[in-house]
Structure 1
């Protein structure tokens, strides 16, 4: 039987600005071997701070500064564990509901929810989001109603729209509770979350006919930008900017490629790769030059560790951050 999986990928876009974020991801699976049936992770500014899965059945802190939450509230950890254990059971039951909705039985099924908020500490602007799968159903905070892009979600939309207490709980959570907890977490981890680390920047090229990749790694936070400029003007044509990726040590990396096949060698000196990190006024400028390029004709220029890490990230996103599910619980306890 054909399996329909709604793939949801969390794309982390670096932006230069004072915005902080609190995101939660809940994923349950059926038919996936050697993988927990339920996984929940929480991230502050894209740094994982709490983790729970059906194997350990315990909410575990992933950052030392989260111990401050337990100091302020001794019941914090136990309450999170109990809540997620209950949620695990709800998710498990909802997979069966969705199999019926989509007229499916066997195979692999992955169900996922992403919710949270963003807060700008300069403008105090708050933006919340609550989404099931990539295109199953999501909550519109502006209209306080549910949007169902697929017909299988219409039943849920009608039910949840008719229960005004659900929309009220969501509005309260995303506009009040979520920003309050986000501010607490940022304060707990201020020395870590508010730090700045500059990257090492390299020019890489697979072969003489390949684009030149300007690669920055080891920077923090992920609110960064990198561009190619010619004579001081930012280039868009012939430029391919990649996503910001997470390194194993919690820092970040990114690349921006420049197509050089049509650039005359005598004009290379006019091109610059420019990296800018939020909170740092000085730019890191790298001049385009053949002597500065690391290349390896006929083989990949990127270190094997980088390739393996990227493949691992894609696999993890495919397994953990994909799918659809229906959750009938109320949300005022979520934080």
Structure 2
């Protein structure tokens, strides 16, 4: 009926995740040469880099967990040193093998696991990117490394021959990582069940540009943003973006509406609707001729859908400490 929106598709149960993002750089000034972040369900729980030389919990629940389990904090501190040295050695080896000297290079690693608290299904992943592109990934089904680029084939042969390391990986992603994740999720339950509503803005670059409905500051990431006309959801002339993380642990998303075929007198028929899992009332922002404001650029506004090269990636580093993502061009290991 008019004024209503589509039925919510959010589920009561969710898939939890524990992800580690590591970044090593060469030839980059004014930022740590190594950075690492741990994320639980998309929220940064811990951080370390080569400047602070320790691991720091970033959430209250994470600080409590580490206080109750000091051996885990000690483990992460040691891992920061070990992984820093490993990635630095690897990036140096790659530069020599690929005949690279002098310029900026970035080596990234993303690894971790996911756990479905309803089905009990567990999956793990371990992959590397070099200079903004996929480099090598572990296939946990076959316990072999996948090299999407010829430059990684030598690394694949070397790592495939390290059977002890492969067995450790199998044990880590099958047992250790999911066990940690379940414990973290239990400690983080109250935090992860919180609901933060966003601020919603209508933005427009020029009078003929699409109108962007932008919601930022919401939590969790089980949310939706849509355009309606006369209370009915629009699918044509709409371009929906991905949900992106903010530096403070909240999320943002945008959806564009092409107004080229909309008469000015019909603007009042349109509105933007934000829906958040666990929240009954929607946030509705009506489209009015005087409402859209010029769009702005911020650290949280970098697009995640496009491949992130070295330059853009380094800008992202300055905005969200240690969180580096490269475009996934292969099916990988998940």
Shorter-chain TM band: 0.7 to 0.9
Structure 1 length normalisation: TM-score? 0.80
Q: Structure 1 162/194 Cα, relative in aligned 2: closer, same or farther at 3 Å?
A: same
Q: Structure 1 145/35 Cα, relative in aligned 2: closer, same or farther at 3 Å?
A: same
Aligned to 2:267: 268
How far is the alpha carbon of 1:186 from its aligned partner?
1.6
Aligned to 1:329: none
Q: How far apart in 2 are the matches of 1:313 and 1:20?
A: 29
Q: 2:120 aligns with which of 124, 148, 156?
A: 124
How far is the alpha carbon of 1:316 from its aligned partner?
4.3
Aligned to 1:310: 301
How far is the alpha carbon of 1:270 from its aligned partner?
4.0
Matches within 5 A, 1:51-130: 51-130=47-126
Aligned to 2:171: 172
1:136·1:148 contact (CA, 8 Å) conserved in 2?
yes
How far is the alpha carbon of 1:144 from its aligned partner?
2.7
Q: CA offsets, 1:21-42, max 9 Å, x none?
A: 1110111112111121211111
Q: Structure 1 313/282 Cα, relative in aligned 2: closer, same or farther at 3 Å?
A: farther
Q: Mind listing any 5+ residue stretches in structure 1 that lack a counterpart? A: 1-14, 324-335
* Relative contact order higher in (CA < 8 Å, ≥ 6 apart): 1
How far is the alpha carbon of 1:232 from its aligned partner?
4.8
Aligned to 2:4: none
Count of paired positions: 301
Greater CA deviation, 253-262 or 280-289?
280-289
1:204·1:301 contact (CA, 8 Å) conserved in 2?
yes
How far is the alpha carbon of 1:132 from its aligned partner?
0.5
Q: How far apart in 1 are the matches of 2:325 and 2:203?
A: 33
2:43·2:250 contact (CA, 8 Å) conserved in 1?
no
Q: CA offsets, 1:53-81, max 9 Å, x none?
A: 11121111111211222233222222221
What value does the CA root-mean-square deviation take over the aligned residues?
2.6
Q: CA offsets, 1:104-145, max 9 Å, x none?
A: 122222111011122222222223211100321001223332
Q: Equivalent residue of 2:292, what SS?
A: strand
Q: Structure 1 126/27 Cα, relative in aligned 2: closer, same or farther at 3 Å?
A: same
Aligned to 1:217: 216
Matches within 5 A, 1:1-335: 16-17=10-11, 18-133=14-129, 134-290=133-289, 293-295=291-293, 300-302=294-296, 307-310=298-301, 315-317=314-316, 321=324
Q: Equivalent residue of 2:92, what SS?
A: helix
How far is the alpha carbon of 1:275 from its aligned partner?
1.6
2:203·2:292 contact (CA, 8 Å) conserved in 1?
yes
Q: How far apart in 1 are the matches of 2:315 and 2:40?
A: 19
Q: How far apart in 2 are the matches of 1:128 and 1:316?
A: 29
Q: How far apart in 2 are the matches of 1:314 and 1:271?
A: 36
Q: How far apart in 2 are the matches of 1:313 and 1:219?
A: 25
Q: How far apart in 1 are the matches of 2:281 and 2:121?
A: 27
How far is the alpha carbon of 1:233 from its aligned partner?
4.5
1:239·1:256 contact (CA, 8 Å) conserved in 2?
yes
Q: How far apart in 2 are the matches of 1:279 and 1:141?
A: 35
1:16·1:225 contact (CA, 8 Å) conserved in 2?
no
Q: Structure 1 70/248 Cα, relative in aligned 2: closer, same or farther at 3 Å?
A: closer
Q: Equivalent residue of 1:33, what SS?
A: coil
Q: Mind listing any 5+ residue stretches in structure 2 that lack a counterpart? A: 1-8, 303-310, 327-334
Q: Equivalent residue of 2:119, what SS?
A: coil
